[in-house]
Structure 1
Amino acid sequence: MHVLITGGAGFLGTMLTQELLDQTDAGRLDVGGRGGITAITSLDMAPSRVDDARVRSVVGDLNDPGDLADALTGGADVIVHLAAVLSGGSEQDFDLADRVNIDGTRALLDAARRQSAETGAAARFVFTSSLAVFGGDVPGTVPEHWAAQPESTYGAHKAIGELLVNEYGRKGFVDARICRLPTISVRPGRPNSAASSFASGIIREPLNGEVAPLPVPQDTRLWLSSPRVVVRNLVRAIAIDGAVLDESAKGPWRVMNLPGITVTVAEMLTALEAVAGPEARALVRDEPDAAVAAIVTSWPGAFDVERLRGLGFEADGSVEDMVRQYRDDFCA
């Protein structure tokens, strides 16, 4: 069972790679009745950070036919498409985002389609999307089939990608699984180009004794998930049978709003203080940024995920749990 992960050298790709290997070694993973993972290829602009004989790195560009062919050597049973220019970066460089987020997704889908034609078997294709596909006047809790109305370049690109992946799935070229990720907190490392980067920064930086700017109002609602839970849900998306997804959704619409918890920024700061004390809370400074706030406040803060919870997808227990998880994993 061979898995290709685009963006495999990034934070999420690294965690997913390790989780797939760990679940395979523990005998907990079975994909399509074929057991666990025997090989993982990471396609990224940097080598994979996972040191395991089953992991191969292709350092290259998703839009380069040679690099893509190299990554798909021997065929891929599962393709997980994580690579993207994120929300803030997409607003700043439209052309780069267009090339990576749309052209790259289309190139990967076409390669999967060619593989399917040659082998007669459609690869499971997991596409990571975003809450940024939503905008406009959304209800307090968004139902599963609420229409996408993006208000950012990144959101528009992800909405386009969702339609492409679902259509390739409908035609049988791939076995599609589209996962709209919650905002992930707490990410380790330094801030990235995502508009939601502050949602990790206001916890991560204070826990490391650093000042953190807060660009949005404290009453902003966020749909959050910890890195561990997001990764386990991605593994679930890989493993679950497509027929089960279609039966539960009453049709071949493979878009899933992954579970999260609804938290205001103020509640995140309260959790930070509960875990690390008032000194840590005092390191978060209100620094309004209208551009960031315009993007983030267009995203919904709660979703109806009852169907997915019934299919084995999970959510965190509390925001305090998420703060402690980062502290225990990365601040020891």
Structure 2
Amino acid sequence: MNILIIGGGGVVGQKLGRALAERGELRGEAISTITLADINDPAPIDGGAVKVETMTCNIADASSVEACVTADTVVIYLLAAIVSAHAEEDFDAGLSINLMGTLNVLQRARELGTKPVVVFTSSIAVYGGEVPDPIVDHSFLNPQTSYGAQKAMGELLLNDFSRKGFIDGRGFRLPTISVRPGKPNRAASSFMSSILREPLNGQEAVCPVEADFPHYYLSPRKCVENLIKGAEIAERDLGQNRCMMMPGRMWTIGQMIDAMTAVAGPEPATLIKWEPQPDIQAIVTGWRFDLRPEKAVTLGLSADESFEDNVRYYLEDDKPAG
């Protein structure tokens, strides 16, 4: 089986590639090749017995997608996106990647005529506005950002291409992934990792919201586990709506910092500076919080047990040596 990870240079893409290579099989078949593709050539990973290739792919360019998605591709993970604050600042870039790029990948998968499995990462940013709590899988989508709107349109395309039998699609609305390793990105939610990651690494960090700000989180480790499980769900079990919330848990910023203190002691929390940032607050306060991922839980996906687990996973998997 050949697997393609578009967005394979990112944090989740790299971790997913390693996990699949270590696993060696997916959907009951041995994995022969994993291809990591991204706008810039992804960092190589050691796949052991599994061949791992890297290549560049600009999903906004249909010819680039055609070169990337080949006839022997069985499973496509579509992780690539222009993230929230970037999509809000640059409307055309968001449309080009998040909407037209998604359409390019789906059209290419359709052209293959082999009905590949397409695992699409959407976002809880598709929810918002005048929708009553709690948010459940059949709540209507009402995004309040360009990023959320573009992801919602991608979900509709995924559903329709699946209904027509062109692909076997499944989409997962990701919680905010924390604690993410690496450097901050242009997501409005980026601070939700940096206020933990940097202090755990002995560096100062800025929190732009109050301690009682609540949000919905999942660790990178659990996200990867769910993406693998998500690819293996039987098509008949997905129903007429192929997209669903990925399980996560609600924590306030204060609870996250308390969890970090419980795991790593009191010193990291002293490195957090509290500086309100209205532009970030305007985006994140429009997101919805009372989320009930019943469908995904029924299908076998799961959340972290506590935010202390999220902190431990970062220390075990990603904290730089020294």
Is 1:201 equivalent to 2:189 in the alignment?
no
Code of the aligned partner of 2:82? V
Match of 1:185 in 2: 178
Amino acid at match of 1:3: I
DSSP-derived class of the 2:54 partner = strand
Q: Which residue of 1 aligns with 2:101?
A: 104
**Structure 1 residue 89: deviation in Å?**
0.7
1:20 aligns with 20
- Cα distance in 2 for partners of 1:287, 1:262 equals 23
Amino acid across the alignment from 1:327: L
2:231 is the counterpart of 1:230: no
SS at match of 1:172: coil
Distance in 2 separating the partners of 1:44 and 1:73: 15
SS of the aligned residue for 2:71 comes to coil
Question: What's 2:298 paired with?
Answer: 310
Alignment size in residue pairs: 317
Secondary structure, aligned partner of 1:195: coil
Asked whether the 8 Å contact 2:244–2:295 carries over to 1, the reply is no
Q: Which runs of 5+ in 2 are unaligned?
A: none
Q: Which range moves more in the overlay, 236-245 or 269-278?
A: 269-278
3-state SS of the aligned residue for 1:41? strand
Partner of 1:77: 74
CA contact (8 A) 2:57 2:68 kept: no
2:122 match: secondary structure: strand
Q: 1:43 aligns with which of 13, 37, 41?
A: 37
In 1, are the aligned partners of 2:162 and 2:168 still within 8 Å (CA)?
A: yes
CA distance in 2 between counterparts of 1:284 and 1:14 reads 28
Q: What SS class does the counterpart of residue 68 from structure 1 fall into? A: helix
Using the TM superposition, give the Cα deviation of residue 324 of structure 1 relative to its aligned residue in structure 2, in angstroms.
Answer: 1.5
Distance 1:140 1:271, change over 3 A: farther
* CA-CA distance at 1:265 after TM superposition: 0.8
Q: Give the distance between the partners of 1:5 and 1:115, measured in 2 at CA.
A: 17
What amino acid maps onto 2:91 in structure 1? Answer: F
The TM-score normalised by the length of structure 1 is 0.91
Amino acid corresponding to residue 281 of structure 1 in structure 2: A
CA distance in 1 between partners of 2:121 and 2:248 (Å): 15
Match of 1:243 in 2: 236
Alignment CA distance shift 1:298-1:36 (3 Å): farther
Counterparts of 2:290 and 2:301, CA distance in 1 = 16
User: Which deviates more from structure 2 when the two are superposed, residues 197-206 or residues 54-63?
Assistant: 54-63
The answer to whether 1:259 aligns with 2:247 is yes
Deviation of the 1:138 alpha carbon: 4.4
Measured against aligned partners, the alpha-carbon deviations of 1:186-241 in whole angstroms (never above 9, x if no partner) come to: 00011000100011011101001111111122211111100000011001111111
Select between 173-182 and 298-307 the one with higher mean Cα deviation: 298-307
Determine what percentage of the aligned residue pairs are the same residue.
42
- RMSD of aligned residue pairs (Cα, Å): 1.5
Aligned residue in 2 for 1:152: 145
